[in-house]
Amino acid sequence: QVQLVESGGGLVQAGGSLRLSCAASGRTFSSYAMGWFRQAPGKEREFVATISRNGGNTYYADSVKGRFTISRDNAKNTVYLQMDILRPEDTAVYYCAASSTIWSTPPTLRHDYNTWGQGTQVTVSS
């Protein structure tokens, strides 16, 4: 089973950028669609972005579209989330997740994912 470890979170000023990384162990990373979710205190965990197994398809939540970019490097067993023009409302714990379901429509539900990382804190100050 794949194991996921996020990194790259931290404190950044509004308007700045961060790049999150999610490193996967195991030999079947390319078999999974990957996604990013986030959860702020007192709020539900929400979908952010997803990318298909070969990287050919991506899908974003409206709240981050045009500012965030998801990508993957299967040779490095890593998925990335490039976050630009960050806003205070982007503050949350960000989670990487893997989905073994067949990609028909973009997987945007928590139920679509069966493996989760531990999360990394992103704090955007004004």
List pLDDT tens digits, range 64-111.
Answer: 999 999 999 999 999 999 999 999 999 999 999 999 988 889 999 999
For residue 26, pLDDT over 90 is answered with: no
Give the length of the chain: 126
> Contact 103/57 with Cβ under 8 angstroms?
yes
Residue 73: CB atoms within 10 A of its CB come to 12
